[in-house]
Structures are given as C-alpha cells and as structure tokens.
C-alpha cells in the first residue's frame, strides 16, 4: 500500500469520515421541555435505536463510502464490483448519506432541536459527497496528497548513489546496473570503464556478445508523474499505476519501453519512460 497514491481529495474524504464518526457519538436530537415537570431535557446520539435508520443511512454509509473511495487508490485500474469501480460505489454511497442527512435537518416536532451530532454529520456528508464527485475534475483536488517531487529514500542497507540496484528488492538483486536511464554508465572511482580513457572521456563501449536477453541489467527507478503499467501481453489493459516517489524494478527492456515490477510482485510494461530517475 502506497499512501503517495492518495490525492488531496482523498485527504478531505478521510477528514470528513473522521468528523462523521465523531459526530455519531454526539447528540443527534435534543429535547427542550421548556421547564415542564412532565419531561426532562435530554439528548441522544445517532447510535440510539430510537433514531433508526439514522445510524446505517448516515453515519455508517458515510464511513463505508470513505473506505471505498480511499481503497480504490490501492487497487489495479479496471477492477470493478458489479460493473462499477470502488470509487463509483463510494461516491454514490456518499451522496446517499448526504441526502439522508439533509432530510433529518428539515422539519421536526416542537420541542425537539437539532443536536451537534446532526449538524456536524450534515457538514461531513455534504463535504464528502462534493469532494468525491469533484476530485477527478478539479486539478487542486486531484493533486497528490504528499509532495512527490523527489522519490522516497531507499531503506536501510541501500546503496543510493552506487550504480546497480541500490535498493534491495524481493529477489535479492546484485549491484551492477548503470545510473540514469539512457545515460552512459559511470565508473567506479579510480577505475575506467572498458572503452573509457583515464582522461575521463567516455568512448563507445563495444557490445559484448550476449545470448537471448542481451546485456540489460535490472535497475530501480522512479517516475516523475503517475503512469500506467500495461499488461505484458500487449493489450491496452492496465494492471497498476506507478506513483511518483516509489521505487520500481525494471527487469527487461523492450525497445523504448520497460518491463517493470511493482513492490507487490506485479509485472507489466511501462511504455512512457521519459524523465524516469534511476536509483
């Protein structure tokens, strides 16, 4: 799970869900007896069974909607539930919760006032529904929640500036790959590369004979912006979305494209390799 896949809109949805959960424990209705001796002032929260179906139609619906919207960011593109994506289900449920909450505000018997929980619940559901519908249309909400201008640092034991893998992966890779993608391979200090003079000029290195896979060496890389990872069979279906700030392993080169592996083991073809950063 990569939290860098979350957008600012997702952050608002999460905040609205937290507010909605808190509001469910606050007074939903308050009773003002006006000094009458036949009743006493009281208030009950949304978990009170007397207010059914307030709990499932407002509070639980809103929290479940937020969970669906956020979890959609960590699922492969194209994964649907009964023909709709998780984000679409979450957006519909958020609108339903806001609609239900709106009608509880309107009207009501005399002596029964709106409680703090009811008002906060309406604000939270309206905000959640609005942001859920607008996130993909408003650039400010669609922007990444966390600053992803630079990739995340490699974990303990990584060899950041060294050529090669530099970031220990699940397969226990060995160092030895070149540095920036498409650039000449840097040498070790004090050791010229084959075909390179001691003066530091890079000469074209002869291509050693290689069988089958050529001389491609796997390497870790990060993308500058979110990019789709397509299936290896050449179809247009995407299996994942590569997010900025996360390291991915390039295991094969196909022309200008790369076969990349995500940290959870999924493999696909990255067709747009412009601007990627080598680890």
What is the pTM for the complete model shown?
A: 0.54
User: What's the token pair of residue 41?
Assistant: 């002032």
> For each of the chain's 279 residues, which pLDDT tens digit applies?
556 678 899 999 999 999 999 999 998 888 776 655 555 556 788 888 877 888 999 999 999 999 999 988 887 766 787 888 889 999 999 999 999 999 988 876 666 788 899 999 999 999 999 999 998 888 888 888 876 444 445 444 444 444 444 454 444 444 444 444 555 444 444 444 544 444 444 544 444 444 444 578 899 899 888 888 888 888 787 888 888 888 889 999 888 899 998 887 888 999 988 889 887
Extended beta strands in 129-171, E state: none
Which pLDDT score, from 0 to 100, does residue 29 have? 84
Residues 62, 125 contacting (CB under 8 angstroms): yes
Count of CA atoms in the C-beta half-sphere (13 A) of 164: 13
Query: Rounded to a whole number, what is the largest CA-CA distance in the chain?
Result: 101
Helix (H, G, I), strand (E, B) or coil at 44: strand
Two structure tokens written together for 157: 């034991």
Q: In angstroms, rounded to a whole number, what is the distance separating the alpha carbons of residues 102 and 212?
A: 65
Angle subtended at Cα 60 by Cα 55 and Cα 64, rounded to the nearest 5 degrees: 170
Distance CA 27, CA 23 (A): 8
For position 214, what pLDDT does the model report? 58
Nearest CA among 176, 36, 30, 34 for reference residue 115 = 30
> CA geometry: angle at 54 spanning 53 and 56, to 5°?
70
| CA separation for the pair 132, 92 (Å, rounded) | 9
* 270 phi, psi to nearest 5 deg: -95, 110
Domains, in order of start, for the chain: 3-142 (1.20.140), 150-182+215-279 (no CATH)
At 76 the pLDDT is 72
């Amino acid at each position: 799970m990569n939290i860098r896949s979350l957008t600012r809109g997702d952050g608002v949805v999460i905040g609205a869900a937290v507010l909605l959960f808190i509001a469910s424990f606050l007074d939903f209705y308050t009773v003002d007896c006006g000094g009458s001796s036949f009743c006493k002032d009281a208030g009950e929260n949304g978990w009170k069974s007397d207010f059914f179906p307030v709990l499932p139609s407002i509070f639980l619906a809103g929290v479940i909607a937020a969970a669906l919207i956020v979890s959609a960011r960590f699922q492969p593109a194209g994964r649907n539930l009964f023909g709709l994506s998780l984000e679409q289900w979450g957006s519909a449920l958020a609108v339903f919760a806001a609609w239900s909450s709106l009608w509880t505000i309107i009207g009501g018997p005399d002596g029964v006032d709106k409680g703090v929980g009811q008002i906060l619940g309406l604000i939270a559901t309206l905000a959640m529904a609005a942001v859920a519908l607008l996130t993909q249309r408003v650039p400010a909400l669609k922007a990444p929640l966390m600053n992803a201008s630079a990739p995340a640092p490699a974990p303990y034991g990584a060899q950041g500036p060294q050529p090669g893998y530099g970031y220990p992966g699940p397969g226990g890779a060995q160092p030895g790959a070149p540095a920036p993608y498409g650039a000449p391979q840097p040498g070790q200090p004090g050791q010229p590369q084959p075909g390179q003079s001691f003066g530091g000029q890079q000469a074209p290195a002869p291509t050693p004979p290689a069988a089958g896979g050529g001389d491609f060496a796997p390497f870790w890389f990060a993308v500058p912006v979110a990019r789709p990872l397509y299936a290896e069979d050449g179809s247009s279906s995407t299996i994942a979305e590569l997010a900025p700030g996360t390291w991915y392993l390039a295991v094969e080169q196909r022309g200008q494209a790369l076969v990349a592996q995500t940290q959870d083991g999924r493999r696909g073809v990255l067709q747009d390799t412009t601007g990627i950063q080598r680890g």
